[in-house]
Amino acid sequence: MLFSNITNINGTNKKKIVLLPHNNPDGDALGSSLALLFYFRKLKHNVDLISPTEYSESFQWLPGSENILVFSEKTQSLIKKKIVNSDYVFFIDFNNLSRINNPYIIDFLLYSKAKKILIDHHPFPFFFDFMFSDPTVAATSILVFRFISNMNNLDKIDKEIATCLYVGLMTDTGFFRFPSVTSETHFIAGKLIDKGIDINFIYDHLQEKYNENRLKLLSKALKKLKIIKKYRTAYTSIKASDVNFYSYKQGDTEGIITYGLSIKNIVFSVFFFEEKEKYPIKISFRSKGNFDVNMFARKHFGGGGHSNAAGGISEKSLSESIEYFLNIIPYYYKNLMFSI
Ligand code: 5GP
Ligand code: MN
């Protein structure tokens, strides 16, 4: 297999490997990284999983999560040592350094002689030493499964690895409902189920362990939801004072954006989030059909993502960001009108 030829990573030679998901890692980034952590340990490599930021409470139950080294002032020098001395750094579930958004880690990467390996499903990857990239798949977890399969090591997938990969599949496909889902997605899900995972336990831990404040924050956003019928668009926002009032924790706004798309005829949903009382504003985009939010986010909000799910930022205030958005949207009238 090409990959093991290049790196000899499947061989007897023990390597120092760093797994690096994007900032605020989601279920796919963490699931893929943790699966690889377990897998490479089975191959007797020396592996570390470094998260550039904290991650949502809803993933803290994931098998192996106690091994995640979260970047902080305290862990900074250890992380520097790990990255600089590693043989391989795996970039997982992102392909652009802006998604690390941590100048220290970017600096450590520049000093590191490690081979940089990409495992990711976003379009337009930057150059890496080796790219395991396929923007057509629903989740990076699928590529991790293929990666292990290509090394003829599917027997090494145990219940823990399977649970992590299944979380990646579930979360990035919106529980197997997005158009990116194919027979391969279900084929892999089936293989993972055969490893003895507990689907009900996973669902319960992902979706039914929210704190009360998270639901109240959702209710706040839904009350503010605005519909622009003419442009088949729904948008809402959360401002910094809501964040404080509802004791926001990382991940609490996850899912708010999906409600806009559940309205008949709406094909574009946007969520503006003022996380701290400072700029930039984080903006999320979701679409249905052929309205490409990746392009939209790239062009207007310095972001990117997939054609139906993307994100970006705005340096303006919350109200100015919304105003800017409302000024742009008429230019997309035809794209929105004829989407699907
Ligand atoms: P979310 O709206 O959940 O933050 O992000 C949805 C998707 O958009 C992510 O999976 C990621 O691919 C992409 N994305 C979100 N924020 C950014 C960003 O600031 N820059 C880029 N390039 N992609 C983003
Ligand atoms: Mn992903």
pLDDT in tens, 315-325: 999 999 999 99
Q: What global pTM score does this model have?
A: 0.92
Among residues 178, 206, 234, which one ends one of the domains? 206
Token pair 């709406």 in the structure block, residue: 266
State the total domains in the chain.
Answer: 2
312 Cα nearest atom in ligand 1: 19
pLDDT in tens, 40-72: 999 999 999 999 999 998 999 999 999 999 999
Does 2 map to a domain? Answer: no
Average the pLDDT over 85-97 and give the result. Answer: 96
**Residue 270 included in any domain:** yes
SS3 76: helix
pLDDT higher than threshold 60 for residue 138: yes
Instruction: Yes or no: say if 281 and 318 are a contact pair by the CB < 8 Å rule.
Output: yes
User: Ligand 2 centre and the CA of 93: distance in Å?
Assistant: 5
Quick check: 1 pLDDT over 50? no
Helix (H) or strand (E) holding 301: helix 293-301
Ligand 1 probe mutation, 24, 55, 99, most atoms within 8 A of CB: 99
1 belongs to a structural domain: no
Contacts of residue 190, Cβ cutoff 8 Å, sequence gap at least 6: none
Domain final position from 138, 171, 206 = 206
Instruction: Give the position, in ligand 1's atom list, of the atom nearest the Cα of 122.
Output: 12
| Rounded Cα–Cα distance for residues 312 and 328 (Å) | 15
Residue ending a domain, among 154, 173, 206, is 206
The secondary element (H helix, E strand) that includes residue 270 is strand 268-273
Strands 46-51 and 226-228: unpaired
Q: Is pLDDT of 81 > 60?
A: yes
Mean pLDDT of the region 26-51: 97
Domain match, 78 and 196 both: yes
One domain, residues 15 and 151: yes
Answer whether residue 210 shows pLDDT above 80.
yes
Q: Which of the ligands is closest to the CA of residue 21? A: 2
More confident residue, 6 or 110: 110
On whether the CB atoms of residues 233 and 336 are closer than 8 A, the answer is: yes
Same domain, 94 and 219: no
Q: Are residues 275 and 195 in the same domain?
A: no
* Paired tokens of 258: 């999906």
- For the CA atoms of 336, 338, 339, 340, what is the dihedral angle to 10 degrees? 160
* Ligand 1 binding pocket mutation candidate from 257, 283, 284 (most atoms within 8 A of CB): 284
Which residues line the pocket of ligand 1, CB cutoff 6 A?
A: 96, 98-99, 122, 284, 303-306, 309-313
CA-172 nearest atom, ligand 1 = 10
Residue 224 shares a structural domain with residue 317? yes
Q: Put the strands of the sheet holding 309-314 in their side by side order.
A: 226-228, 233-238, 268-273, 281-287, 309-314, 304-305
In this structure, are 124 and 235 located in the same domain? Answer: no
Strands of the sheet containing 68-70, edge to edge, are: 68-70, 46-51, 16-21, 88-92, 115-120, 130-133
**pLDDT-derived band of residue 340, with 50, 70 and 90 as boundaries?**
confident
- Quick check: is 63 in a domain? yes
Structure tokens at 201: 């336990």
**Does residue 93 fall inside a structural domain?**
yes
In a domain, 179, yes or no: yes
In a domain, 281, yes or no: yes
Percentage of the chain modeled with pLDDT above 70: 96
pLDDT over 70 at 107, yes or no: yes
In a domain, 84, yes or no: yes
Question: Which among 82-96, 118-132, 269-283 has the top mean pLDDT?
Answer: 82-96
Q: Do 323 and 222 lie in a common domain?
A: yes
Statement to judge: residues 163 and 248 lie in one domain: no
Query: Strand 226-228 and strand 233-238: pairing?
Result: antiparallel
Residues spanned by the domain of 63:
7-206
Residue 213 has pLDDT above 90, yes or no: yes
Instruction: Give the ligand with the smallest distance to the CA of 27.
Output: 2
Do 128 and 172 fall into the same domain? yes
CB 69 within 8 A of CB 48: yes
Residue 306 or 126, more confident? 306
CATH number of the domain that 321 lies in? 3.10.310.30
pLDDT averaged over every residue in the chain: 94
- The answer on 228 and 193 residing in a single domain is no
Return the pLDDT at 280. 87
Residues 100 and 28 occupy one common structural domain: yes
Q: With the C-alpha atoms ordered 171, 141, 28, 233, is the resulting torsion angle positive or negative?
A: negative
H helix or E strand, kind and range, residue 260: helix 258-261
Distance CA 184, CA 304 (A): 25
Residue nearest to atom 2 of ligand 1 (CA): 284
| pLDDT surpasses 60 at 7 | no
- Give the CATH number, domain containing residue 87: 3.90.1640.10
- How many other C-beta atoms can be found within 10 angstroms of the C-beta atom of residue 311? 20
> What residues pair up with 236 in beta bridges, in sequence order?
271
Shared-domain flag, residues 73 and 101: yes
Q: How far is the CA of 98 from the centre of ligand 2 (A)?
A: 16
pLDDT in tens, 251-309: 899 999 999 999 999 999 999 999 876 668 999 999 999 999 999 999 999 999 999 99
Atom of ligand 1 nearest to the CA of 271: 2
Ligand closest to 254 (CA) is: 1
Rg from Cα positions in the chain: 20
